[in-house]
Structure 1
Amino acid sequence: MSRAPLVVVGDVLLDREVLGTVERLCPEAPVPVFDETEVLDRPGGAGLAAVFTSSAAATGPPRHTKPGRAPREVVLVGAVSADAAGDRIRELLARAGVRLVEVPLLGKTPEKIRLRAGGHLLMRLDRGSDPAEIGAAPAEAIEAIRAAGAILASDYGRGVCAHPQIRAVLTERAQRVPLVWDPHPRGGHPVPATRLVTPNRAEAAGFAQSNVGTTHSGEWPLTAALNPHQADGLPAHANGNGHAALNGAGRAAHAASNGHAAGNGRAASNGNGHGANNGHGPAGHSDASTADLARAAGMAVRLRRFWGASGVVVTLDDRGAVLSDGVNPPLLVPTPFSARGDSCGAGDRFASAALASLSEGSSILEAVTTAVTAATAYVAAGGALSLCPELHERTDDPASAVII
């Protein structure tokens, strides 16, 4: 029996990685000479989120996926133009098993071209950067959203998620199925009743400052009274799986059960919930770390209230994410291990993993834990240049080598 598809709605672009070497300077000017060796194309923006969603849907969270259950269809509702970049996106999405339902884009399909040498990003060239007009949403796009079992809105601010017809149907479906909203600085607000909003630290700060004032307004319900398990003064684990609560002062709780200390994994915690300096850095570093967590937790709480969302999770790069779900005090979900590298696309990986988890019946906390692990593994594997093996396709011709 087929299940309702997972639908990604948002702004699509073409990402192109141009790899090469730099061994000399140009004689005309003191700039490097870049010798191209390989070109890698992939769908970007909501297109990459759809590819990740397809991969996540094929496996699913082990606790909720029954053996032998067929993966869900993944549908992308996005605006693509009738140009070479648009044709390339169509080809790559088809290879990844994503069904594209097009909304007319009255302008160029945007492209982001990155030049890399020796693992370093030298330059990014953008094409079609100016937002183009979005045409009327076809009936097929509206019906695809209405038929969704779960939805990811990937809002890069180019008009798809703000389209009146699309926003109306997203508002309608948010009352019935899980909706994950991945916001970006140029994007708008999530619709009411969104299940989970996933800004990073900078995005959350921008929304908090422009829409709901500062983070220090007294609207921060992190007192022990909200958590009956904190009667002894020790912030309790959420469910024993390594999540750490934050106490009323915004300080990190005791070390999580997976061996990572709450906060940044460096500061051990003593009996009163304060991070203790354990030799990895000066006390000032610990103070700055806990202050950063406090700000993130405050923004998550305020934005969840302002947006009317069930949960807001603020991602914190290699430290994990802080979640406000309206049930528990804000929780730190730490990364399972340290991962350093190119984080381009990590937000899409996070949001798509959360969507796939919620679609299988996971709680918000379970979905965020799954998403933190998926995004960490993605960065550790090399990020956009080392996508999942099942999505790799390379040809012998460097000019047509592809990652999808």
Structure 2
Amino acid sequence: MSRAPLVVVGDVLLDREVLGRVERLCPEAPVPVFDESEVLDRPGGAGLAALFTASAAASGPPGRTRPGRPPREVVLVAAVSADTAGDRIRELLARAAVRLVEVPLLGPTPEKIRLRAGGHLLMRLDRGSGPAEIAAAPAAAIEAIRAAGAILVSDYGRGICAHPQLRAALTERAQCVPLVWDPHPRGGHPVPATRLVTPNRAEASGFVSSNLGGPRSGEWPLTAALHPADGVAVHVGGNGHGASNGASASNGAGAAGNGNGRAANNRVTPNHAVPTGAVGNGNGRVAGNGGAAKGDATTSSNGHATAHADAATADLAQAAGMAVRLRRYWGASAVVVTLDDRGAVMSDGVNPPLLVPTPFSARGDSCGAGDRFASAALASLSEGSSILEAVTTAVTAATAYVAAGGALSLCPELHERADDPASVVII
């Protein structure tokens, strides 16, 4: 028996990687001469998210899929134009077994062309990146959303996610199935009841600055995350022993919290959440109310702690504060702020913010890592995982993606054959 499909809704573009060599300067001007050797095309934006979703749906999250259970169909609802770039996207999606439900795009299909030599990005050329004009949504697009078993919205701000008909369908379906919203600087707000919103650090900062700066937000200021005020409980550890309020951690590094500023009388252990207390992770990080703590902190006579956090810990606390504020402002079940090689900070409204660290250190091209993160979270939630399980799965998937080489890792056959200047590799 077939299962409800996984549906990706968002702005699609054509990503083109042009690989080559630079061995000399141009005689007409002091600029490098780029000799092209390979061209790799792939769907970008929501298209890349759909490819990742299809891959995740086929394998399933660890421990969640049952043998013999059929994989879900993946459907992409996106605006594509009737041009060469649009035809290329259609071809690539079909090869990846992603069903495209088109919304007519009145204008060129966007393209991002990256020139790379010796593993370095030299230049990016954008085409058709201006505002998009999107026609009325066909009935097939609305029905695809209404039939979804889970939805990923990849909002690059070109209009598809703000389309009134599509947004109404997303708002309706979010009440019934998991919806993950991957926002970008030019995009809009998630619909109410979104299960998980996944901004990166810079995006979260931008949303906080533009949307939460006025008194209408009703939130405590982010400075509270860095300078705890009187009456705010901050956990202190360093050796795993609890402070006088009963909260403890395995190493004493802290992230900001979202409660009323007082720690509950519960012990925190790594990878276990206490419903009425704080949350620990693999590093034992815990949270108070916006306070960050290190092992060199001291405890005052009234049981409250004061801490001297270094810049990295302060930044972590600020990211946690942003996750709290954005979750409240958007009315989402959870917001996770991704922090590159540090992992991600999650606020779910139940427990103090939690840092989910990366399983190992990965350095490399992070292009597409956000799409990999969001798609892995969606696939996990669609199989019944908790939000914490989904975020942990997503952190691991995004880290492995960057470690493997990022976007270029999607074409392993490139590294298995000699250069052929006439070839075009399709991924």
- Tell me, yes or no, whether TM beats 0.5: yes
| TM-score after normalising by structure 1 | 0.87
Match of 1:360 in 2: 383
Measured in 2, the distance between the counterparts of 1:313 and 1:388 equals 29
- Structure 1 residues 400, 103: closer, same or farther in 2, change over 3 A? farther
Match of 2:272 in 1: 238
Measured on the aligned residues, the alpha-carbon RMSD in Å equals: 2.6
Match runs of 1:4-403 below 5 Å: 4-213=4-213, 215-216=222-223, 221-222=258-259, 225=262, 227-230=264-267, 237-239=271-273, 242=282, 244-251=285-292, 269=295, 287-387=310-410, 398-403=421-426
Measured in 1, the distance between the counterparts of 2:68 and 2:168 equals 36
Measured in 2, the distance between the counterparts of 1:321 and 1:166 equals 29
The gaps in structure 2 that reach 5 residues or longer are 214-220, 226-255, 274-279, 300-306
Q: Following TM superposition, by how much is the alpha carbon of 1:402 offset from its aligned partner in structure 2, in angstroms?
A: 2.7
Match of 2:250 in 1: none
Letter in 1 for 2:393: T
Q: Following TM superposition, by how much is the alpha carbon of 1:159 offset from its aligned partner in structure 2, in angstroms?
A: 0.4
> Is this contact kept in 1: 2:222–2:322, CA < 8 A?
yes
> Is this contact kept in 2: 1:237–1:245, CA < 8 A?
no
Q: Following TM superposition, by how much is the alpha carbon of 1:176 offset from its aligned partner in structure 2, in angstroms?
A: 0.4
> Is this contact kept in 1: 2:270–2:281, CA < 8 A?
no
Q: Over residues 161-206 of structure 1, what are the superposed CA-to-partner deviations in whole Å (9 max), with x where a residue is unaligned?
A: 0000000000000100000000000000000000000000000000
Structure 2 residue matching 1:336: 3-state secondary structure: coil
| TM-score after normalising by structure 2 | 0.83
Measured in 1, the distance between the counterparts of 2:90 and 2:52 equals 16
Structure 1 residue matching 2:100: 3-state secondary structure: strand
Measured in 2, the distance between the counterparts of 1:29 and 1:195 equals 53
Structure 1 residue matching 2:113: 3-state secondary structure: strand
Q: Following TM superposition, by how much is the alpha carbon of 1:131 offset from its aligned partner in structure 2, in angstroms?
A: 1.6
> Is this contact kept in 2: 1:19–1:39, CA < 8 A?
yes
Measured in 1, the distance between the counterparts of 2:14 and 2:162 equals 21
Measured in 2, the distance between the counterparts of 1:390 and 1:270 equals 51
- Structure 1 residues 227, 387: closer, same or farther in 2, change over 3 A? farther
Letter in 1 for 2:272: A
> Is this contact kept in 2: 1:340–1:380, CA < 8 A?
yes
Letter in 1 for 2:122: L
Q: Following TM superposition, by how much is the alpha carbon of 1:400 offset from its aligned partner in structure 2, in angstroms?
A: 4.6
Q: Over residues 323-358 of structure 1, what are the superposed CA-to-partner deviations in whole Å (9 max), with x where a residue is unaligned?
A: 000111000000000000000000000000000000
- Structure 1 residues 361, 166: closer, same or farther in 2, change over 3 A? same
Measured in 1, the distance between the counterparts of 2:407 and 2:41 equals 10
Measured in 1, the distance between the counterparts of 2:187 and 2:77 equals 17
Letter in 2 for 1:119: G
Measured in 2, the distance between the counterparts of 1:352 and 1:391 equals 25
Letter in 2 for 1:242: G
Q: Following TM superposition, by how much is the alpha carbon of 1:61 offset from its aligned partner in structure 2, in angstroms?
A: 1.1
Measured in 2, the distance between the counterparts of 1:224 and 1:272 equals 18
Query: How many aligned residue pairs are there?
Result: 376
Measured in 1, the distance between the counterparts of 2:208 and 2:20 equals 41
Measured in 2, the distance between the counterparts of 1:245 and 1:390 equals 44
Match of 2:303 in 1: none
> Is this contact kept in 2: 1:8–1:77, CA < 8 A?
yes
Q: Percent identity?
A: 81
- Structure 1 residues 310, 226: closer, same or farther in 2, change over 3 A? farther
The gaps in structure 1 that reach 5 residues or longer are 254-268, 274-282
Letter in 2 for 1:60: G
> Is this contact kept in 1: 2:50–2:74, CA < 8 A?
yes
> Is this contact kept in 2: 1:3–1:72, CA < 8 A?
yes
- Structure 1 residues 206, 142: closer, same or farther in 2, change over 3 A? same
Q: Over residues 302-326 of structure 1, what are the superposed CA-to-partner deviations in whole Å (9 max), with x where a residue is unaligned?
A: 0000000000000000000000001
